[in-house]
Amino acid sequence: MRKPTILCVDDEVNGLIAREFVLRQHGYDVVVTTSGRESLDLLEEVEVDAVILDYRMPEMMGDAVAERMKQLRPEVPIMMLSAQDCVPPAALRFTDTFLPESAPAHQFVDAVHDMVATGSPFFRRWLRNWKQRLSA
């Protein structure tokens, strides 16, 4: 059986490494990138069960990345993280959940578990294929 795969996107390498470690300890496969643009390419190439996305990044803000991700793979849940305790509500309109980076590790892991549990990989693949057939 395939482990759930999480795509983590953050321009801060230390935070990215810490999240990858915690997620691997809890049984997830993890794909990481420090670039919003690269994350969009990865989303098209890799079957992921959820995305964890930093809000403030230099080349492309997290809300713009989330919007594009939802256009590409609307069935994949996205968690927005930020060093700020809150972000403008408009920046979260394409995300499924928000956590401040200061949240305790157990809260972070619980939120990831909840995102992954919202739909089976089978259903997400079926929905994506169905939408592709409709647009063809």
State the DSSP string of 18-36.
HHHHHHHHTT-EEEEES-H
CA distance 1 to 69: 26
Domain count, the chain: 1
CA distance 55 to 95: 11
CATH number at residue 111: 3.40.50.2300
Reading phi first (left if > 0) and then psi (alpha if -120 to 50, else beta), residue 27 is in: left
Say whether pLDDT at 128 is over 80: no
Domain range for 62 is 5-135
Q: What is the pLDDT of residue 136?
A: 65
pTM over 0.75: yes
Say whether pLDDT at 78 is over 90: yes
Buried b / exposed e across 84-105, counting CB within 10 Å, b at 16+? Answer: eeebeeebbebbbbbbbbeeee
- Supply the mean pLDDT for the chain: 88
Q: What is the pLDDT of residue 84?
A: 78
Say whether pLDDT at 121 is over 70: no
14-63 pLDDT, tens per residue?
A: 999 999 999 999 999 999 999 999 999 999 999 999 999 999 988 889 99
Q: What is the pLDDT of residue 51?
A: 97
Q: What is the pLDDT of residue 111?
A: 92
Question: What are the C-alpha distances in Å from 114 to residues 64, 108, 121, 133?
Answer: 24, 10, 14, 29
Q: What is the pLDDT of residue 130?
A: 64
- Is the Cβ–Cβ distance between 53 and 33 less than 8 Å? no
CA distance 129 to 120: 14
